[in-house]
Amino acid sequence: MAKIGELLIAEGHLTQDGLEEALDWQVLYGGRLGTNLLELQLVEERDLARALGRQLGAEVTWGELQPDAALLGALPPHFAERQEIIPWKLEKRRLKVLCIEIKLQQLDELGYKLGRTCQAVIAPEYRVHQALRALYQAKRQMRALDFGLVPEEGREERRRSKRKQEKGAPEEAAPELIDESAFDDIYNQVLAGRSAAVAQAPLAASLPPVHAPATLRGHPANPQPATLEPLPDNAILEALPDDAILEEATLEPDPAEVEEALPEVSWDDVPREAEPPSIDESPLDFKQALKLLEGVSDRDSIAHIVLRASRGMAARALLLQVQGGMALGWDGLGEGLSGGAARAVAIPLSAKSAFSLVVKTRSHYLGPLQKTPSNIRFLAALGKKVPLSSLLVPILHRGRVSHLLYLDNGHRQQAPTDVGEMLILSQRIGQTVDALVARKHKAARG
């Protein structure tokens, strides 16, 4: 199967330089490549969706997803969240479900249970995540893309190269930041699964145009309805296995004879909670952590090692991603951080705070968190436990802060004061991430 980046380049929607920038971003912040391409405004959502349709051989949709509300009860929230599928439309006896990828076994099982043929409709990852938040209260990683922000971090090198080529070109404006006074409304919209586009910094002339809704600073755009496109003629289809069973084609029944509703079914046989992964959350000492970082091959493993090492020093540890003028919760260990609570953390860096200070100075912070709206919201997400002091450590990638590590010892306790080992560890983390980025680029070129 062709890779999505290769398809977009072949169709003239993406450059090799743009692909490498998005691969770098993907190593730092995770998610599918398409999410990172959209976040950096390197492709249009329409072109990405169409390329996904050709890659997977499926119908596609993009824009704001608006499923038929009458169908949502067909799936319990825990099943929809776990499988990342959403009932969308019922056409005669065929149920169309929104997916990020095609999982044939799950679609077959769902079709057997509901008594309907289930057909996958592919949508960009971040759109499905928005819908899962809104419709099933799922916890999904928030991104600058959800807030309508164009991340400018890490793009200085490309800007400098462009200015050298275009002598006399004016300096580009600093990236737009979310206004602190408007942040609550935007944050609530993101949690509710709606787009919250704000005024965006202009794109470099070398990038392809992106028709994203622009609005006044801090005010959400009007939702754009989803667009559906059928299976493309040049879809790339995998060969069917020899033992595949194909149903004989039949005439479509008269619509008047079709019951446009799903039957009520029991989901008692589907466990509410998936089997918890066997992950070691025991604290690591400094030397163990450094040793484990030497063999890391993915970003989630880095996060797990960092958090375990942090728990060797503090009662609570949280990793945040810095992008688009925001610090967004990624993962955490300790009190108040179970069940994906870290993913509800979002801190605008436009307001003065310990978080913005660490990003600006690239130095650690040890002290109390002031009583500001951002800090109150932050501690509320962590269970309203207020420490006497906190420790914030920056993690750098190519000279700028890409992540923050937050530590404290719980309610009314002082943060750990021996920060030397954490500073060394943060430096080693940055080096490990740099090595992962280099391997990703090498694999993409090879």
pLDDT at residue 188 is higher than 90: no
- Specify the CATH number for the domain of residue 412: 3.30.450.40
Residues 209 and 306 in one domain: no
Residues 216 and 290 in one domain: no
Structure tokens belonging to residue 175? 């990236």
Residues 213 and 293 in one domain: no
CB atoms within 10 A of CB 233: 6
Residues 18 and 141 in one domain: yes
Domain end (from 200, 220, 240) = 220
Residue 109 in any domain: the answer is no
Residue 82 in any domain: the answer is no
Q: pLDDT, tens digit, for every residue of 377-411?
A: 898 888 888 999 999 999 998 889 999 999 999 99
**Nearest residue to 56 (alpha-carbon basis) of 121, 9, 106, 126:** 121
pTM (2 decimals)?
A: 0.80
CB atoms within 10 A of CB 310: 28
Residue 343 in any domain: the answer is yes
Q: Which stretches does DSSP call E strand in 28-135?
A: 59-62, 85-91, 94-99, 117-122
Measured CA to CA, the distance from residue 442 to residue 390 in angstroms comes to: 39
- Residue 397 three-state SS: strand
pLDDT at residue 350 is higher than 60: yes
Residues 161 and 43 in one domain: yes
- Using CA atoms of 30, 33, 37, 40 in order, give the dihedral in degrees to the nearest 10: 10
Categorize the per-residue pLDDT at 282 as very low, low, confident or very high, splitting at 50, 70 and 90.
Answer: confident
Q: What's the confidence (pLDDT) of residue 101? A: 94
Residue 171 in any domain: the answer is yes
Categorize the per-residue pLDDT at 219 as very low, low, confident or very high, splitting at 50, 70 and 90.
Answer: very low
Selected residue with higher pLDDT from 58 and 223: 58
Q: pLDDT, tens digit, for every residue of 123-163?
A: 999 999 999 999 998 889 999 999 888 887 655 555 554 45
Categorize the per-residue pLDDT at 413 as very low, low, confident or very high, splitting at 50, 70 and 90.
Answer: very high
Residues 296 and 197 in one domain: no
Domain end (from 190, 220, 250) = 220
Measured CA to CA, the distance from residue 262 to residue 303 in angstroms comes to: 42
Q: Is the sign of the CA dihedral 306, 307, 310, 311 positive or negative?
A: negative
Query: How many separate domains does the chain show?
Result: 2
Strand bridging mode 227-229 / 85-91 = unpaired
Residues 216 and 322 in one domain: no
Domain end (from 204, 220, 236) = 220
Domain that holds residue 186: 4-65+123-220
Residues 208 and 339 in one domain: no
Selected residue with higher pLDDT from 362 and 93: 362
Selected residue with higher pLDDT from 356 and 240: 356
Measured CA to CA, the distance from residue 408 to residue 332 in angstroms comes to: 12
At a CB cut-off of 8 Å and minimum separation 6, what does 218 contact?
Answer: 178, 179, 181, 182, 183, 185, 186, 198
Contact 379, 369 (CB under 8 A): yes
Determine the distance from the C-alpha atom of residue 295 to the mean position of all C-alpha atoms in its chain, rounded to a whole number: 25
Backbone angles phi, psi at 286, to 5 degrees: -55, -50
Q: Which residues pair with 64 in a beta bridge?
A: 225
Residue 96 in any domain: the answer is no
Residues 193 and 322 in one domain: no
Q: pLDDT, tens digit, for every residue of 40-99?
A: 999 999 999 999 999 999 999 999 888 999 899 888 888 899 899 999 999 888 999 999
Q: Give the chain's mean pLDDT.
A: 80
Percent of the chain with pLDDT over 90: 42
Residues 303 and 160 in one domain: no
**Nearest residue to 289 (alpha-carbon basis) of 303, 275, 268, 276:** 303
pLDDT at residue 250 is higher than 50: no
With tokens 């309805």, the residue in question is 225
Categorize the per-residue pLDDT at 268 as very low, low, confident or very high, splitting at 50, 70 and 90.
Answer: low
Residues 178 and 290 in one domain: no
H or E stretch at 320: strand 316-323
Q: What's the confidence (pLDDT) of residue 441? A: 73
Residues 55 and 160 in one domain: yes
Q: Give, in order, the Cα–Cα distances in Å from 200 to each of 42, 99, 157, 180, 323.
A: 14, 29, 20, 16, 14
- Residue 144 three-state SS: helix
Q: pLDDT, tens digit, for every residue of 297-319?
A: 888 999 999 999 999 899 999 99
Measured CA to CA, the distance from residue 283 to residue 113 in angstroms comes to: 43
Least-confidence region, from 10-14, 19-23, 223-227, 351-355: 223-227
Selected residue with higher pLDDT from 92 and 181: 92
Contact 300, 141 (CB under 8 A): no
Q: Which stretches does DSSP call E strand in 127-268?
A: 227-229
Residue 26 in any domain: the answer is yes
Residue 80 in any domain: the answer is no
Residue 98 in any domain: the answer is no
Strand bridging mode 326-334 / 227-229 = unpaired
Amino acid in position 152: E
Measured CA to CA, the distance from residue 152 to residue 155 in angstroms comes to: 6
Contact 7, 51 (CB under 8 A): yes
Q: Which residues pair with 44 in a beta bridge?
A: none
